[in-house]
Amino acid sequence: MSLSNKKILVTGADGFIGSHLTEELIRQGHDVRAFSLYNSFNSWGWLDHSPKEIKENIEVFSGDIRDPYGVKEAMKGCDVVLHLAALIAIPYSYHSPDTYIDTNVKGTLNIVQAARELGVGKVVHTSTSEVYGTAQFIPITEEHPLQGQSPYSASKIGADQIAMSFYTSFGTPVATIRPFNTYGPRQSARAVIPTIITQIANGIRKIKLGSITPTRDFNHVKDTVHGFIAVAEADNSVGQVINIGSNYEISIGDTVQLIAEVMGVDIQIETDDQRLRPERSEVERLWAANAKAKQLLGWEPVYGGRDGFKRGLKETIEWFTDQGNLNKYKADVYNI
């Protein structure tokens, strides 16, 4: 499916990945409607900080993904829906799991139900590598068992199944993209890489973290964005679940040292108990197999391997250490 002359709705457009995706679609000349969470401040999230030429070409729809009526209204006239709106913080899901069911499961139901009723041409539903839990085999293919090791991951498993059930039950054209750990400019300090960078950038040398032994497959946001666009454009992605990952595994501890190396500082790591997941909830190992993405989409990471990861970290650090950006973060406060 060519996205040219198509009306594209991006839910979660005000967030980290969603704002980058919205901007890239605009740069490519596409017609984009950005679904932003309604708030009394009239804030469009990260889109407020987009260049003027981007903001002038975005149609913003303020609403709530939990509201089926507003969701359907936002989707009217759209040919493609890129559904990113979700609650994503794992620690907060221990605190308020009910909100994750409402937002992630029922929100996804609202999207696919409206897509079915309106005859939308393509829905790209966003999953997460967290649905795999701790790797039972590596690298992790799309056939790996799903394990809900946190309320967040359980809610995303439910959302994934709802989305694909509409494909199998009603023929709704749904494709599921499953990004591994995306990082880059604008990411929330709830994530480990911004947590490390912002602490160092604020002069802290004893870095507070949770467990540093788990491994992750970090994916630069530009690669993730190109993955979304590739899934949207590929006709053969319908009915498929597709990993988007770098196929490079690194521990949190080694990630800390690599960031410190790039930033030219010596650091110590302190374990902060409040940042530790419950033992059986911690995902100890993630490593993406990305052969399916290469085969079906022709997608592969630009920031792959250690060299690519280091290059992506340098770009991310450059953004976070800009004082105007750094001031948006509270490095001395643990953000669940």
| Per-residue tokens: 80 | 């493609």
Has domain 7-184+218-247+285-303 been given CATH number 3.40.50.720? yes
Q: What is the pLDDT of residue 177?
A: 98
Tally Cβ neighbours within 10 Å of residue 37.
19
Whose CA is closest to 177, among 127, 221, 225?
127
Kindly list the distances between the CA atom of residue 89 and the CA atoms of 190, 192, 257, 269, in Å, as whole numbers in the listed order: 7, 11, 24, 22
State whether residue 162 is helix, strand or coil: helix
| Per-residue tokens: 15 | 């967030």
Whose CA is closest to 202, among 323, 32, 70?
323
| Per-residue tokens: 213 | 């032994």
Whether 152 and 93 have beta carbons less than 8 Å apart is answered as yes
- E strand or H helix at 305: helix 305-320
Q: For residue 298, list its beta bridge partners.
A: none
Q: What is the pLDDT of residue 203?
A: 94
C-alpha span between 282 and 276 (Å, rounded): 8
State whether residue 253 is helix, strand or coil: helix
Q: What is the pLDDT of residue 276?
A: 84
- E strand or H helix at 8: strand 7-11
Orientation of helix 107-118 relative to helix 151-170, angle to 10°: 20
Q: What is the pLDDT of residue 332?
A: 80
Q: Taking the domains of the chain in order of start, what are their residue ranges?
A: 7-184+218-247+285-303
For the chain of 336 residues, list the mean pLDDT of each consecutive stretch of 10.
Answer: 96 98 98 97 96 96 98 98 97 96 98 98 98 98 98 98 98 98 96 95 92 96 98 98 98 96 94 86 97 98 97 98 95 80
Please indicate, yes or no, whether the overall pTM of this predicted structure exceeds 0.75.
Answer: yes
